[in-house]
């Protein structure tokens, strides 16, 4: 019997309400000591990643979040029967317990900030040109001109990065006030100024959202993508798989977000 | 049925995918990745998401579990 696994929860009790997962099968908890693995039975091998299977997986985890602290398990994790699940639980019990304790009553929020990189660069270059007009033009060889051009490019890029750091620092100060942990990625692409996830205590969610609105307000030329509350996908730490947790083959995904903002609704925010 | 909870949040499939394909509990060695021979996954969002590298990474990992899906 194939068991599709959705998440690890901080309870050995059964889920009170019926929750349906992949293939419309009812999910249930396989207890191990004081925690449990939530699974459903699969009749057929999953042959494809479809929109409905992705959403079914996520919906089960979201429903579980209403009742438990959840460590979401990666999509398409299938075990051969109850023994396989129990064996896994035995191997990772301490790690799961530590994570469940650390993540209890906390949720994750994602924030992506897209800025108009081309305009920012243009502005920097214009400002530099203005300053150059006041400086003498170097007479002489093309080598000198080439070096000067390269130096200007370097200055532009440096100032661009400084500006990015400045914006990120300001935003992060606000968000960090209400966050227990965070992970920030700066300038994944020129346009994706910030890709961040914050771990926030449940009773600080509203404050966190308010901080976001406060930051978003004045930056009308920026696009903000806010998502959550999520289970703490990005904050599960399992030392045994640290190599696998080191992401990411999904860099392209973020480029797509930047290139096709309409797909993720960022153009409407 | 599936969309109720998900649509209620202002998120997209991309955000979900970013999380569920690569984050959370990754129990290597025991898992079976049953997506085989799928190079590109079309998600109906006009985005071709190349996640085959991730799948390959996991498929290439030593499988000590008792079961392997047919490919």
Across the interface, whether the CB atoms of B9 and A228 are under 8 A apart is answered yes
Across the interface, whether the CB atoms of A56 and B2 are under 8 A apart is answered yes
The candidate with the shortest Cα–Cα distance to A204, out of A179, A176, A170, is A179
> Residues 43-62, chain A: which have Cβ within 8 Å of B?
45-49, 51-52, 54-59, 62
A249 and B CB contact within 8 Å: yes
Quote the CA–CA distance of A261 and A216 in Å, as a whole number: 17
Size of interface A-B (CB pairs under 8 A): 177
Interface predicted TM-score (ipTM): 0.70
Task: Let me know: does A207 contact A198? Beta carbons within 8 Å.
Answer: no
Q: Say if B66 falls within a structural domain.
A: no
Across the interface, whether the CB atoms of B49 and A264 are under 8 A apart is answered no
Q: Say if B68 falls within a structural domain.
A: no
Q: Say if B38 falls within a structural domain.
A: yes
Which CA distances in Å does A247 have to A106, A206, A218, A230, B24?
22, 30, 33, 18, 11
Quote the CA–CA distance of A172 and A144 in Å, as a whole number: 42
Nearest to A51 among B20, B34, B44 (CB): B44
pTM over 0.80: no
Number of other residues whose CB lies within 10 A of the CB of residue A52: 11
Nearest to A84 among B13, B44, B67 (CB): B67
Task: Let me know: does B65 contact A84? Beta carbons within 8 Å.
Answer: yes
Strand partners for A26: A20
- Report the number of distinct structural domains present in chain B: 1
A179 and B CB contact within 8 Å: no
pLDDT one-digit tens code per residue, A12-43: 999 888 999 999 999 999 999 999 999 999 88
Across the interface, whether the CB atoms of A76 and B35 are under 8 A apart is answered yes
Across the interface, whether the CB atoms of B32 and A78 are under 8 A apart is answered yes
Question: A236 to chain B nearest CA, in Å?
Answer: 6
Q: What is the DSSP letter of A15?
A: P
pLDDT one-digit tens code per residue, A106-125: 999 999 898 898 898 888 88
> Residues 146-175, chain A: which have Cβ within 8 Å of B?
none
Task: Let me know: does B46 contact A260? Beta carbons within 8 Å.
Answer: yes
Across the interface, whether the CB atoms of A249 and B17 are under 8 A apart is answered no
Which range marks the domain in which residue B24 is found? 3-59
From first to last of the 269 residues of chain A, give the pLDDT tens digit: 889 999 999 999 998 889 999 999 999 999 999 999 999 998 877 666 777 888 899 999 999 999 999 999 988 888 888 998 999 999 899 999 999 999 999 999 999 898 898 898 888 888 877 776 666 656 667 777 788 888 888 888 899 999 999 999 988 998 999 999 999 999 988 889 999 999 999 999 999 999 898 888 777 888 888 888 899 999 998 875 444 333 333 333 334 333 434 433 334 43
């Amino acid at each position: 019997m194939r068991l599709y696994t959705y998440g690890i929860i901080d309870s050995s009790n059964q889920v009170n309400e019926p929750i349906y997962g992949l293939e419309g099968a009812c999910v249930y908890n396989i207890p191990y000591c004081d925690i449990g693995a939530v699974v459903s039975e699969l009749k057929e091998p999953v042959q494809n990643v479809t929109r409905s299977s992705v959403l079914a997986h996520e919906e089960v985890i979201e429903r579980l979040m209403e009742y438990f602290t959840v460590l979401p398990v990666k999509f398409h994790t299938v075990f051969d029967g109850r023994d396989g699940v129990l064996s896994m639980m035995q191997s990772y019990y301490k790690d799961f317990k530590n994570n469940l304790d650390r993540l209890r009553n906390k949720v994750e929020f994602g924030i992506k900030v897209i800025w108009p990189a081309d305009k920012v660069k243009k502005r920097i270059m214009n400002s530099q040109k203005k300053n150059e007009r006041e400086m003498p033009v170097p007479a002489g060889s093309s080598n000198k001109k080439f070096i000067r051009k390269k130096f200007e490019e370097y200055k532009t890029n440096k100032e661009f990065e400084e500006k990015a750091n400045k914006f990120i620092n300001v935003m992060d100060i606000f968000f960090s006030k209400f966050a227990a942990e965070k992970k920030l990625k700066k300038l994944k692409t020129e346009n994706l100024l910030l890709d961040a996830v914050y771990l926030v205590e449940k009773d600080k969610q509203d404050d966190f959202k308010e901080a976001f609105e406060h930051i978003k307000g004045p930056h009308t030329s920026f696009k903000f993508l806010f998502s959550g509350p999520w289970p703490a996908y990005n904050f599960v730490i399992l030392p045994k798989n640290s190599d696998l947790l080191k992401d990411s083959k999904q860099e392209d995904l973020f480029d797509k977000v930047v290139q096709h903002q309409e797909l993720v609704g960022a153009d409407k925010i | 049925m599936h969309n109720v909870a998900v649509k209620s949040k202002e998120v997209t499939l991309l955000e979900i995918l970013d999380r569920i394909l690569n984050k959370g509990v990754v129990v290597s060695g025991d898992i079976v990745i049953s997506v085989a021979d799928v190079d590109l996954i079309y998600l109906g969002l006009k985005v071709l998401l190349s996640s085959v590298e991730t799948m390959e990474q996991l498929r290439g990992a030593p499988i000590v579990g008792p079961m392997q899906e047919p490919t």
